[in-house]
């Protein structure tokens, strides 16, 4: 689904609503907007008060997602501060028993972005930019990937052969990229994270293996890769499960000498890497520092002293 198209649709709907409001209230009097007579008075009052309070008459299409919609809040400054402190959906208000039209359209837009992230594919241009060749797990297709996480943890025989052919064995640091549950996260963040990570590793004088891309990978695929290449540490940059706040969140899972049988507590993770969370460039540099500590302490996860 085209997100830009949906956002355009939201703007057009709000623009049409604005025209209707202006045409029905030429003297800026009470606004008549709803066909539901049982809720007529409530809707007229709440909508008018809402528009008046936030000074949006004539500028409805400019309403921002983060702006509270509650009419006559008892503590306006506190509400504004609360809304500004989180991207969560708070202060959205309602019309009768249902959400506002803009709220519903934004919800559907964000949900569409999440679906796109799961079913999308990483841009080949991004992979080519960093010279990443592609291998696959045994996931088969997206439906299997979602229902059978175990199939995303094991590489195909062809993948194993290609990795052995192309990659440096026994590096200090092995970098792997995977789409995971959000291909969009890789497209959005890898161009910033990857160069910063390489710079950090070179600054620390670490030996870097041959990076590559795993399609349909789960976090635990790093254990299979660890057994094949035998790196000292491995970092997996993977798209995270999308939510309704962002569909572009990436995580970096790191493990000292990954192998089959590793428990999750032995992994170190930096999560929430995106423009609204941990800045991608800073994340890349920070990952390099953590990998250096792992090599010094020969440990990761709960055994690593930060």
The two tokens of residue 118 are: 């799961």
CA dist., res. 100 & res. 138, Å (int): 44
Which residues make Cβ contacts (< 8 Å) with residue 287, sequence separation at least 6?
193, 197, 200, 235, 252, 254, 270
Alpha helices by DSSP H, the chain: 3-24, 40-53, 76-84, 101-119, 124-129, 142-147, 157-166, 183-203, 221-229, 280-297
What 3-state DSSP class applies to 170? coil
Which residues make Cβ contacts (< 8 Å) with residue 250, sequence separation at least 6?
182, 185, 186, 188, 189, 190, 193, 237, 238, 239, 240, 273, 274, 280
Greatest pairwise CA separation for the chain in angstroms:
77
- φ/ψ of residue 45, rounded to 5: -70, -45
What 3-state DSSP class applies to 289? helix
Residue 92, marked binder? no
The two tokens of residue 134 are: 């592609």
197: Cα separation from own chain's centroid: 19
Residue 219, marked binder? yes
Known binding residues for adenosylcob(III)alamin are: 219, 240
Binding site feature residues: 219, 240
């Amino acid at each position: 689904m085209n997100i830009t198209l949906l956002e355009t649709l939201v703007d057009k709907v709000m623009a049409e609503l604005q025209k209707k409001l202006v045409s029905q209230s030429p003297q800026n009097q009470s606004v008549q907007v709803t066909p539901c007579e049982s809720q007529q008075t409530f809707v007229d009052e709440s909508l008018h008060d809402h528009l008046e309070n936030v000074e949006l008459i004539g500028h409805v299409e400019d309403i921002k997602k983060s702006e509270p919609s509650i009419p006559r809040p008892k503590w306006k400054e506190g509400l504004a501060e609360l809304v500004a402190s989180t991207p969560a959906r708070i202060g959205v208000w309602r019309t009768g028993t249902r959400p506002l039209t803009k709220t519903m359209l934004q919800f559907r837009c964000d949900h569409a972005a999440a679906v796109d992230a799961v079913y999308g594919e990483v841009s080949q241009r991004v992979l080519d930019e960093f010279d990443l060749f592609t291998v696959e797990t045994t996931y088969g297709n997206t439906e299997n990937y979602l229902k059978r996480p175990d199939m995303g943890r094991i590489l195909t025989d062809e993948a194993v052969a290609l990795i052995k052919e192309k990659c440096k064995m026994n590096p200090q640091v092995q970098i792997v990229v995977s789409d995971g549950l959000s291909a969009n996260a890789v497209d959005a963040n890898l161009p910033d994270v990857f160069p910063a990570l390489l710079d950090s590793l070179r600054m620390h004088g670490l030996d870097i293996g041959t990076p590559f891309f795993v399609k349909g990978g789960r976090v635990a695929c790093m254990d299979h890769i660890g057994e094949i290449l035998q790196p000292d540490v491995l970092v997996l940059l993977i798209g995270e499960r999308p939510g309704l706040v962002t569909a572009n969140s990436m995580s970096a899972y790191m493990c000292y000498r990954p192998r089959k049988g590793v428990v999750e507590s032995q992994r170190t993770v930096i999560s929430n890497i995106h423009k609204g969370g941990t800045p991608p460039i800073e994340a890349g540099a920070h990952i390099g520092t953590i990998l250096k500590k792992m090599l010094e302490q020969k440990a990761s996860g709960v055994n690593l002293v930060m």
